[in-house]
Each structure stands twice: as structure tokens, then as C-alpha cells.
Amino acid sequence: MRLLSRSTRLLAIPAVAVVLAACGNSAAGGGGGGDTDGPIELGAVSSLSGPVAFADPTGAAQAVFDRVNEDGGINGREINYTVVDDRGDPSAAAQASRQLIDEQDVVANVGSASLVDCSANAATYQRQGLVSVQGLGVDPACFSSPNISPVNTGPFSGYTSLLYFASETLGHDRVCAVILTVPGLTEGYEAAVERWSEITGKEPVFVDTSLTVSDDPTPAVLRAQAEGCQAVTFNSNPPQTVTVMKAAQTQGALETIDWIALTVSYNSEILEAFAANNSWGLYVNSEFEPWSGESEALQDWRTLMEENDIPQGSDSLAGYVAATIMVDVLEGIEGDITRESVTQAFKELEPVETELIGSPYTFGDADSHNPNQASKIVQAQPEGWVTVSEDWQRLPE
């Protein structure tokens, strides 16, 4: 299966609570998904506002779909893409899914990126026979549902990748895990540490779950020094990552310990903070082909993002990959494109190979899905993000 490579056009994607594709009368809702002559209705439940906002995945997916529409659509049918903001609230997410299913009559969801969509709606998607090609899987339910298959590695397999890189690539014997406590996620990170131990037969020096994202990380830095950690993995958001690295620099721990964080900290803005603090050296896993690199595989994505004024980063790559997979599946359906036929196509989907992710994308008829088990490692250096592993690091089964 291929990924799209088409001509592009300029389109500004508005950052609003509900984003509608410029095709057909989507605001009227209803009927489109089952109508074999009208637009193909696709949807997404995303956190566009609230505690953490993810606008770029659906913005990138919108750009892909608009390009398809300009080129004639799917067998002459335009794609109508409706994104509903759940504001990071479970009740709003549940309401959003009902809107997409009952009013928009979507045939599938694609590109969603939400703190709560999966936990709030996994049972609904299964009951309604709706598949979701998640752009960013965040909570554990995104990786434990038969009807949801994210394109990203996710925080838990990602955290296992950090530990695996520390022990197997860097060769460290004394690896320490700092897990910043996040309600509903901490147990998943603890399971990720256990998975690393099962894969490698090794144990961490310690697993510290005493901190929240708003706490001063200095006690964890001092503990890592006192217990002789050679590497520390941590699951912070970007602001907390800056705080951790500054604390490590202040305590003289950058020279003696490797600090390794999740892909959420892989962005351009964080480099300015590292420059101000002189706290270089952070390793981060990239769930996709590193966006800061020069790989030819990034050319179509990069051009499309530039022409649509969408930030280049892991989030927009997630939406682009999810949308291109969806388009290829839709193009391969013989006969009517309905919710039933789209779900059947994904349940029968052969593994999708693409240079943008290190593991084949799969859906299939399994009870759960976490197909992306690969990362490349990048490091924050004064010249920018530098890819330190040209080959994919794939977690063993």
C-alpha cells in the first residue's frame, strides 16, 4: 500500500473548536456517511483546547483531504471532515462522538488526538462498528480497543523505548526511571518499565513516582546522583522537561547522567530554553521519521505543511500519516463506501509499509492495537535536533 504523493494548494486551516472541510454542506449534518453519492463523511474527536491542545494532527489531515478533493475526490466523491473539540473533558468527548455518529453519520474517525477520546468512546466505537485511525493515541484505552489503532508509538511503548535505548544502545547498567504522576496514566508507565525488564532481563535502579508535573524535580536529580544512575528516563511535558534539564545542569548532573524523555518534548521551541540554560544533551524518541531531518520520505509532508502554514513536527506527521492511510483504504474499497464497508476494509487490512514509521501499520481483527513499535532517537545539541540513530529501534515482541 502506498502513501499519497499529489500536487498541493494553499489552504489556511483555522484553529477553531469545530473544523469543517470546505466541501458540501457539512453544517447540516446527517446522512452523508451512508449516502453513496454525497460526500464521504469522516470525523475526529480531538482536544483542540483545554489542559493540552492538539491542533496539528487534524490540521494536517484536513490538508491531505482538501488536496484529495481538489484532485477529484475518491471516485468522484469529496471527503467531508468534521473535527469536534472535546476540550479534554470526558463528557464533552462522549457528546462529540454522538454528534459525529448520529448527526454527521461518519464512516470512520481519523487523525484524532485527545486526552480522553479513547477512554470515553472506545465502547461506543465498538458498539457502533466505527473504526478510528487515531493520530495520537494518548491514554491506555487507545491501545486496548478492537476499533482503535493509533499511528503513533504512544507514551507507554515510547517509555519502554527510552529504557531500551539506555540499556541496549548506550550500554548503561544503572538505568533509573522517573515517572511523573498523571492520573490515569501512571499505571501504564509502570507497566512499560515492567515490559522493559521482561525484554532485557534487567531491573531499574529505582522507579520514582513521587513527583507531579508541577513539582520541583531537584529531589529526583539528587537521588539519581546519589544512587549512581547512568541514565534517567522521564515522561514530562515540554515545560517540565526544561525544568528537569535546568535542575540537572544546576546540580552538575548533565556530565555524568544521560537524560532521556518522550517524543512530546521533540519540538523547536524547547531548544531556545536549552540554549538559555546551557542544558544541552537531552535524548528523545521520535515516533516517526525525525521531522527535523532531511529524509526524502518527509518531502511530501513538508511541502504540504509549508503550503498550508501548519507547524512541522511530530503532531502534524501523525495526522498526515493517519490521513494518507485512510485515503488509500477508501480508494481500495470496491462498491459503496459506508461505515460497514470501511470497517470491514480496516479489519481485513494488510500491513501498511511506509518509510515514515518504523513498523508496518496494522489494524485487523485483533482485540487491541499498538502497531508502531519503533523509534529513532534524536538529541538536543547547540546546532539543533540531531538524529543519533539512523536505523529504527524496534522493540522486540
Query: 12 lies in a domain?
Result: no
Tell me the pTM: 0.90
Sole residue written with cell 513538508:
302
187 and 296 in a single domain? The answer is no
184 and 144 in a single domain? The answer is no
Q: Collapsing DSSP states into helix, strand and coil, what is residue 301?
A: helix
Residue 397 pLDDT level (bands cut at 50, 70, 90): confident
Query: 9 lies in a domain?
Result: no
68 and 133 in a single domain? The answer is yes
Q: Collapsing DSSP states into helix, strand and coil, what is residue 281?
A: coil
User: Alpha-carbon distance 344 to 336, whole Å?
Assistant: 12
46 and 150 in a single domain? The answer is yes
Task: Report in angstroms the alpha-carbon separations of 241 from 9, 46, 271, 304.
Answer: 37, 24, 11, 30
Q: So what's the pLDDT on residue 2?
A: 36
**Bridge partner list, 132:** 109, 148
pLDDT of 13 higher than 70:
no
SS3 content of the chain, % helix, strand, coil (to 5): 40, 15, 45
316 and 385 in a single domain? The answer is no
Query: 6 lies in a domain?
Result: no
For residue 236, the domain's CATH number is: 3.40.50.2300
Find how far residue 343's CA is from the centre of its chain.
21
**C-alpha cell read off for 104:** 454527521
pLDDT per position as a tens digit, 89-106: 999 999 999 999 999 999
Number of domains into which the chain is organized: 2
Q: Is 47 left (phi over 0), alpha (psi -120 to 50) or beta?
A: beta
Q: So what's the pLDDT on residue 34?
A: 55
268 and 308 in a single domain? The answer is no
Better-predicted residue by pLDDT, 53 or 35? 53
Beta strands in 221-265 (DSSP E): 231-234, 258-261
Query: 246 lies in a domain?
Result: yes
385 and 268 in a single domain? The answer is yes
Span 338-367, average pLDDT? 96
359, 393 Cβ separation under 8 angstroms: no
271 and 218 in a single domain? The answer is yes
Q: So what's the pLDDT on residue 182?
A: 84
Lowest mean pLDDT among 8-22, 51-65, 68-82, 196-210: 8-22
73 and 138 in a single domain? The answer is yes
Better-predicted residue by pLDDT, 3 or 210? 210
* Contacting residues for 296 by C-beta, under 8 A, at least 6 apart: none
Query: 343 lies in a domain?
Result: yes
95 and 223 in a single domain? The answer is no
DSSP 370: -
* Contacting residues for 293 by C-beta, under 8 A, at least 6 apart: 387
Query: 10 lies in a domain?
Result: no
pLDDT per position as a tens digit, 377-386: 999 999 999 9
Query: 53 lies in a domain?
Result: yes
Query: 13 lies in a domain?
Result: no
User: Alpha-carbon distance 281 to 179, whole Å?
Assistant: 20
Span 315-338, average pLDDT? 97
Q: So what's the pLDDT on residue 35?
A: 59
212 and 89 in a single domain? The answer is no
Span 30-55, average pLDDT? 81
Q: So what's the pLDDT on residue 341?
A: 97
Q: So what's the pLDDT on residue 17?
A: 35
User: Alpha-carbon distance 330 to 133, whole Å?
Assistant: 13
User: Alpha-carbon distance 322 to 385, whole Å?
Assistant: 24
pLDDT per position as a tens digit, 223-243: 999 999 999 999 999 999 999
pLDDT of 50 higher than 80:
yes
Range of the domain at 214: 155-286+376-394
Selection from 281, 301, 298 nearest residue 388 by Cα: 281
130 and 25 in a single domain? The answer is yes
